[in-house]
């Protein structure tokens, strides 16, 4: 076999190596200024617990120097190197990197422009001595040999489940057993952190099953994998809600999670370095018993949204038809031929309107403020498919790489990156948007035209991913009314302009309260105020007041309250950040030093 | 970027390409003799449904020419080509190949020696126009748009499950819901073949859960994956039985199999081109109802073994202690301090002896004939790890490649390939074997020293994969007795040489009857006789009478009875051959011509 490869480094490769060598030298010399000088004047270093034991982004050379001065001695970073050949595109070199710290092994993504770092992402992916039991480290399962009084796997699982929470206290209590709690629970199980997940629902997955029957994931399958056990190659692109429910249920089982269903959290009080959490758990016979758990760490994974938010409307009590919040909507089946008024114009409102129309109800949507609408196809093609698609996978973009690429884009510059995507979508779907506007629908693309994902990060609402309802709105099949609801009569919804909408059914697709509000029911208002607002970037846009935070408030990182954590987000965020939250919890269990750099200030109690 | 790769084909590559080009030319010219001349005088072509709609191995040039003359016109093979760079080792070139037939797309493995084919494996992997809905072909899950009277996924699943077997007849009925039935059911679901699996047990996985409590898989995890959904990277090397049970249960659920548990098959009668199968299915209230199913295809997946086989021993009824077959052994817990006699010396006997010893029973094993014993570690290191291990995966040997490599070794030469492996094991573990023999244990390595896997293929018994019990035998902790059991008294087991073994417990680890016997209970003795023996190669060794068959009798391929199929084997064989059995069934559903070349003759009714 005669093959020769000329081993001359590419320009991208030599530039990357030169930068990494200089950076490592500066770090080794503990020379924060020399390291900072390798960054461009406009530059961003996002660190996820590798240097800072925080999730934080510093900006510019001063930011970099400050971070390094505060962390270098403790972190002792070594071995910065590229892990594959860097790519160059439009003057930007992108390099996958790896490094080690005193505590663990990390990776990241570096973007160089003119030889200087424009963005750097660093993440700590595993703790030395506490690596996950994967592949070559997987457990044997059964201990070969002969041992007196052997305990089998099944016996040991039964015993563990019976003891945890009763005679053995969990290290971590996760309140909320949706995809967030389950993904984090699986990470913690792999890291050997004793954890209980509590969930109101009767079965894992009920948070999906119990919702309106037409619900399906609006995100495609490539974006939705849970850790460790990806969906099979035949899994549908958009999971119907019950199928996701079944998947979560089997996942919790095969991952051996200590998942307490039919359990509610009554209160959590901090006592010394642990929590006293009172929960009510239903027994096999259905009777509920109060139990006080004493975890050191409390994770609230209550969903990206808080309690159902129903507006105060005069006359609500006199309305004679059915009325309920979208979260309690049973589905359309009994409303065939009835007059339905759906208040709101975001995802749930559209889904419910379309499902009611499909059974032959007379449907009116009440739009109270402008809404961002994007066709699902366009979002997939232009917004996601470089990272999450069969095409991306074929190009070597694994789920972890896609997550990392997305995480490597600093929130500060994300609007500038996203706006062109949505401009392209507006152009591609110009006729579609024209028809929606002609039907009277008020559109927006976010206050700075940055589109859906930023709306999600800033306020978690204000949009509809169109899977079919917009055509019904455009064609008038779903009637459109606009303005605020000022009154309900026995059989009408009355709007501010005097419009009277006859109604047999009123659905309040009016969103949810804040996560903080939900938390306050558990940890009390005082502590909730001290911890402050959860979610949002401080962008100074609607529902996301400034000042600028640089990261999502309180998510997956240390809060103002020691031992209190927030976890959640869509399946993708739950998957990615659960690793880093789990490592923070594991490090604390193992008493590995975790000095937090620049713990975020609290600006909004909310 | 300056890189130059000299594109000069390697010797292996040019030899492979030359062979494939000549082979394709001969096939295109329908010149069977020219194609046969490309094979060595000693050569083997194993075809799995690509050319023959059978699983068959032809030998030598005459065999090749005969196969081609019979099949070429119908198969119309095109596009024979290598799919990656061939490897050369010790004068043997190994090449991964692909091709197409009129019906579908195939792949395989070619071994060349001195420019001639020594072995060729061809498999048909998918049917044109009926490809599995994987990756880019996966279903959308939810239909975007608005449609009157939409049916959701959950509603459609409920309806399908309620109708199948009642108002809609299944195309395929699989009797037996262990790993074999489940793997095949998943394949058929992906191919859109309406299938019911019936299983006596209450839950999928009960065939594992109900066995003795110390049972774990003796095969390592890399060998055990089911189709579509591999075990996660943290799955234990040797699955404890209950964990496998849970996995099978969740797999049947998320794969949406129509799995009728608590259902028994009473009889199956062929009527025209379908079956009338009477089953008894337990309802939700526990009462059983008889239902007649009318599938066109009947698959018996009853396990590699038949009914528990308990020897007729005089005095059995007078024995006052506990006595049961190994399949009914509850585990050791209530035998602490008791005297246990375990009759048999294969896997179950060893496992049960060790577990009894572990709780402190006084244990005697009765060895009735010589046994093949291999240490699990040695089997993994020397027998499996080139194909099924972390090391193999790291070297690019995926599960499908490993399965294909194994399938590419013709059964005729497998003993010659396996014997050196077991010779190496004997050398490595010489001291271990010496100690076992010193303790009086009768060892063998198969009649031709070809070891465990050939014993499995020939007779499915006669061995123990040592996970710890042999040390107890060698050290005398498990006492050893030898010979035939001639009588039971009230409290003793009496052997042929007059030895009397006091016993509170007798376990008959005496194996199982034949698959054919189990089948005859369902299809009747006449049809069972006509179909003949199932499993075994015709090697002329114990329990595997000749003549030589070349393939496993009746497994995964057409039998003497149209519409009757046998499926099973360990997890690995169930995984691999379920694809090819499923494709045979799908082709028949779609009325794709499936002329069977050289349907095996029946030599043994048994």
Q: Which pLDDT value is given to residue B271? A: 97
Nearest chain B residue to A477, by CA: B146
The mean-pLDDT minimum among A17-21, A147-151, A387-391, B257-261 falls in A147-151
A240 contacts B247? CB cut-off 8 A: no
Assess contact for B172 and B276: CB atoms under 8 A: no
DSSP of B215-235, one letter per residue?
A: -B-SS-GGGTPPSSSPPPTTS
Q: How many CA atoms lie within 13 A of B188 on its CB side?
A: 31
In angstroms and rounded to an integer, the radius of gyration of the C-alpha atoms of chain A is: 26
Q: How many CA atoms lie within 13 A of B138 on its CB side?
A: 21
Q: Which pLDDT value is given to residue B8? A: 47
B253 contacts A234? CB cut-off 8 A: no
Does A469 have pLDDT greater than 80? yes
Helices A153-163 and B241-254 cross at an angle (nearest 10°) of: 80
B234 contacts A139? CB cut-off 8 A: yes
Nearest chain B residue to A229, by CA: B232
Give the separation between CA A480 and CA A499, rounded to whole angstroms: 12
Three-state SS at A37: coil
Quickly tell me which residue has 């020399």 as its tokens: A34
Q: What is the ipTM of this complex?
A: 0.93
Quote the DSSP letter at residue B333: G
What is the widest separation between alpha-carbon atoms in chain B?
Answer: 88
CB contacts, 8 Å: B148 with chain A? 358-360
Q: Which pLDDT value is given to residue B143? A: 84
Does A5 have pLDDT greater than 50? no
CB contacts, 8 Å: B216 with chain A? 141-142, 153
Q: How many CA atoms lie within 13 A of B370 on its CB side?
A: 11
Assess contact for A480 and A344: CB atoms under 8 A: no
Position with higher pLDDT, A513 vs B416? B416
B213 contacts A234? CB cut-off 8 A: no
A140 contacts B236? CB cut-off 8 A: yes
Q: Which pLDDT value is given to residue A193? A: 98
Does B43 have pLDDT greater than 80? yes
Give the separation between CA B457 and CA B460, rounded to whole angstroms: 6
Tens of pLDDT, residue by residue over B186-234, are: 999 999 999 999 999 999 999 899 888 888 998 999 999 999 999 999 9
Q: Which pLDDT value is given to residue A484? A: 95
pLDDT band at B9 (very low <50, low <70, confident <90, very high): low
Q: Which pLDDT value is given to residue A351? A: 95
B5 contacts A3? CB cut-off 8 A: yes
pLDDT band at A518 (very low <50, low <70, confident <90, very high): confident
Does B304 have pLDDT greater than 70? no
Q: Which pLDDT value is given to residue B5? A: 39
Nearest chain A residue to B143, by CA: A467
Mean pLDDT of chain A: 95
Tens of pLDDT, residue by residue over A357-416, are: 999 999 999 999 999 999 999 999 999 999 999 999 999 999 999 999 999 999 999 999
Cβ-nearest to B141 among A134, A155, A239 = A239
CB contacts, 8 Å: A138 with chain B? 221, 233-237
Quote the DSSP letter at residue B600: P
B228 contacts A144? CB cut-off 8 A: no
Cβ-nearest to B135 among A147, A157, A233 = A233
The whole-number average pLDDT for the span A295-317 is 89
B6 contacts A242? CB cut-off 8 A: no
Assess contact for B77 and B47: CB atoms under 8 A: no
Does B7 have pLDDT greater than 80? no
Cβ-nearest to A148 among B233, B238, B360 = B360
What residues contact residue A535 under an 8 Å CB cut-off, 6+ apart? A304, A457, A460, A514, A515, A552, A553, A554, A555
A253 contacts B146? CB cut-off 8 A: no
The mean-pLDDT minimum among A202-211, B3-12, B497-506 falls in B3-12
Does B418 have pLDDT greater than 50? yes
Nearest Cα to Cα of residue A67 among A603, A601, A596? A596
Query: Is the backbone of residue A402 left (phi > 0), alpha (psi -120 to 50) or beta?
Result: alpha
A154 contacts B213? CB cut-off 8 A: yes
Q: Which pLDDT value is given to residue B556? A: 98
A236 contacts B138? CB cut-off 8 A: yes
Tens of pLDDT, residue by residue over B330-351, are: 899 999 999 999 999 999 999 9
Give the separation between CA A600 and CA A604, rounded to whole angstroms: 12
Cβ-nearest to B233 among A5, A228, A377 = A228
A144 contacts B467? CB cut-off 8 A: yes
Q: Which pLDDT value is given to residue A10? A: 78
Quote the DSSP letter at residue B8: P
Does B156 have pLDDT greater than 60? yes
- Residue A383 parent element (H or E): none
Give the separation between CA B241 and CA B215, rounded to whole angstroms: 6
Q: Which pLDDT value is given to residue A7? A: 44
Cβ-nearest to A467 among B144, B154, B254 = B144
Structure-block tokens of residue A395 = 């190009």
Does B4 have pLDDT greater than 70? no
A142 contacts B216? CB cut-off 8 A: yes
Nearest chain B residue to A360, by CA: B148
How close B1 comes to chain A (CA, Å)?
4
What is the widest separation between alpha-carbon atoms in chain A?
Answer: 88
The whole-number average pLDDT for the span B369-379 is 96
A358 contacts B236? CB cut-off 8 A: no
Does A511 have pLDDT greater than 80? yes
Q: Which pLDDT value is given to residue B142? A: 86
Structure-block tokens of residue A564 = 């209190």
Does A113 have pLDDT greater than 70? yes
Count CB atoms within 10 A of the CB of residue B188.
Answer: 28
The whole-number average pLDDT for the span B37-65 is 98
pLDDT band at A520 (very low <50, low <70, confident <90, very high): very high
pLDDT band at A514 (very low <50, low <70, confident <90, very high): confident
Structure-block tokens of residue A147 = 């041992």
Top residue of B214, B232, B375, B376 to mutate, by most chain A CBs within 10 Å, is B232
How close A209 comes to chain B (CA, Å)?
10
Does B539 have pLDDT greater than 60? yes
A150 contacts B358? CB cut-off 8 A: yes
Backbone angles phi, psi at A491, to 5 degrees: -145, 25
Quote the DSSP letter at residue A31: -
User: CA torsion angle for B459, B119, B383, A137 (degrees, to 10)?
Assistant: -120
pLDDT band at B1 (very low <50, low <70, confident <90, very high): very low
Count CB atoms within 10 A of the CB of residue B34.
Answer: 16
Cβ-nearest to B468 among A141, A144, A393 = A144
Q: Which pLDDT value is given to residue B305? A: 63
Nearest chain A residue to B473, by CA: A146
| Cβ pairs A/B, distance under 8 A | 203
Three-state SS at B280: strand
CB contacts, 8 Å: A149 with chain B? 358-360
Does A339 have pLDDT greater than 60? yes
Quote the DSSP letter at residue B261: -
Nearest chain B residue to A249, by CA: B250
What residues contact residue A147 under an 8 Å CB cut-off, 6+ apart? B358
CB contacts, 8 Å: B234 with chain A? 132-134, 138-139, 190, 228
Tens of pLDDT, residue by residue over A190-214, are: 999 999 999 999 999 998 998 888 8
pLDDT band at A8 (very low <50, low <70, confident <90, very high): very low
Cβ-nearest to A358 among B134, B150, B390 = B150
Assess contact for A385 and A392: CB atoms under 8 A: yes
Does A122 have pLDDT greater than 90? yes
Assess contact for A261 and A199: CB atoms under 8 A: yes
Give the separation between CA A373 and CA A376, rounded to whole angstroms: 9
A472 contacts B152? CB cut-off 8 A: no
Does A438 have pLDDT greater than 90? yes
Give the separation between CA B563 and CA B577, rounded to whole angstroms: 17
Q: What angle do CA B358, B359, B363 make, to 5 degrees?
A: 70
B152 contacts A237? CB cut-off 8 A: no
pLDDT band at A305 (very low <50, low <70, confident <90, very high): low
Nearest Cα to Cα of residue A527 among A519, A536, A515, A539? A519
A140 contacts B238? CB cut-off 8 A: yes
The whole-number average pLDDT for the span B357-379 is 97
Three-state SS at A407: helix
Assess contact for B320 and B491: CB atoms under 8 A: yes
A236 contacts B140? CB cut-off 8 A: yes
pLDDT band at A304 (very low <50, low <70, confident <90, very high): low
Please list the alpha-helical segments (H only) found in B323-451.
347-358, 376-378, 390-394, 399-407, 414-428, 430-438
- Residue A127 parent element (H or E): strand A116-127
What residues contact residue A398 under an 8 Å CB cut-off, 6+ apart? none
How close B339 comes to chain A (CA, Å)?
16
Cβ-nearest to A358 among B138, B147, B246 = B147
Does A1 have pLDDT greater than 70? no
Structure-block tokens of residue A208 = 């999906």
What residues contact residue B439 under an 8 Å CB cut-off, 6+ apart? B473, B474, B475, B476, B480
Give the separation between CA B414 and CA B374, rounded to whole angstroms: 18
Proportion of chain A above pLDDT 70, given as a percent: 98
């Amino acid at each position: 076999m005669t093959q020769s490869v000329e081993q001359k480094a590419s320009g991208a490769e030599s530039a990357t190596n030169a930068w990494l060598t200089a950076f490592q030298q500066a770090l080794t010399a503990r020379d924060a200024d020399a390291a900072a000088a390798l960054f461009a004047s406009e530059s961003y270093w996002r660190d996820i617990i590798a240097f800072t034991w925080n999730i934080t982004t510093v900006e510019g050379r001063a930011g970099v120097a400050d971070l390094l001065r505060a962390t270098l001695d403790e972190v002792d970073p070594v071995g910065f190197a590229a892990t594959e050949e860097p790519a160059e595109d439009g003057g930007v070199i992108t390099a996958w990197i790896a490094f080690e710290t005193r505590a663990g092994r990390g990776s990241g993504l570096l973007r160089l422009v003119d030889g200087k770092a424009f963005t750097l992402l660093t993440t700590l992916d595993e703790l030395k001595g506490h690596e996950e039991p994967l592949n070559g480290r997987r457990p044997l399962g059964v201990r070969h040999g002969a041992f007196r009084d052997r305990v089998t796997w099944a016996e040991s699982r039964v015993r563990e489940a019976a003891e945890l929470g009763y005679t053995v206290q969990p290290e971590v209590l996760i309140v909320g057993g949706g995809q967030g709690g389950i993904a984090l629970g699986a990470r913690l199980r792999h890291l050997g952190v004793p954890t209980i997940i509590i969930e109101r629902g009767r079965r894992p997955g009920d948070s999906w099953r119990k919702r309106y029957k037409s619900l399906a994931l609006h995100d495609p399958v490539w974006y939705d994998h849970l850790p460790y056990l990806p969906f099979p190659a035949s899994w549908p692109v958009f999971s119907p809600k019950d199928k996701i429910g079944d998947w979560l249920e089997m996942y919790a089982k095969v991952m051996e999670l200590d998942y307490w269903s039919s359990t509610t959290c009554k209160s959590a009080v901090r006592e010394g370095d642990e929590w006293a959490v009172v929960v009510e758990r239903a027994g096999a016979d259905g009777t509920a018993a109060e139990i006080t758990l004493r975890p050191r760490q409390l994770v609230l994974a209550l969903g990206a949204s808080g309690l159902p938010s129903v507006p105060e409307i005069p006359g609500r009590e006199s309305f004679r038809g059915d009325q309920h919040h979208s979260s309690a909507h049973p589905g359309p089946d009994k409303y065939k031929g009835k007059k339905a008024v759906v208040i709101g114009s975001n995802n749930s409102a559209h889904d419910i309107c379309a499902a009611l129309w499909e059974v032959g109800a007379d449907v009116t949507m009440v739009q109270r403020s402008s809404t961002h609408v994007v066709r699902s196809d366009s979002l997939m093609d232009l917004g996601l498919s470089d990272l999450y698609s069969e095409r991306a996978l074929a190009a070597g973009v694994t789920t972890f790489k896609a997550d990392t690429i997305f995480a490597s884009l600093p929130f500060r510059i994300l609007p500038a990156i996203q706006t062109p995507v949505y401009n392209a979508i507006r152009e591609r779907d110009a006729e579609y948007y024209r028809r929606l506007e002609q039907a009277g629908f008020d559109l927006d693309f976010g206050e700075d035209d940055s589109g859906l994902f930023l709306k999600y990060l800033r306020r978690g609402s204000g949009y509809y991913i169109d899977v079919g309802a917009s055509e019904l709105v455009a064609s008038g099949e779903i009637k459109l009314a606009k303005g605020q609801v000022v009154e309900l009569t026995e059989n009408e919804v009355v709007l501010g302009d005097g419009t009277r909408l006859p109604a047999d059914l009123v659905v309040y697709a009016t969103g949810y309260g804040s996560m903080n509000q939900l938390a306050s029911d558990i940890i009390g208002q005082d502590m909730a105020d001290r911890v402050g607002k959860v979610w949002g970037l401080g962008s100074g846009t609607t529902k996301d007041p400034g000042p600028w935070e640089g990261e999502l408030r309180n998510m997956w990182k240390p809060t103002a309250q020691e031992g209190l954590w927030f976890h959640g987000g869509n399946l993708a965020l739950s998957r990615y950040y659960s690793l880093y939250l789990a490592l923070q919890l594991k490090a604390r269990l193992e008493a590995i030093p975790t000095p937090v750099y620049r713990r975020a200030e609290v600006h909004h109690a909310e």
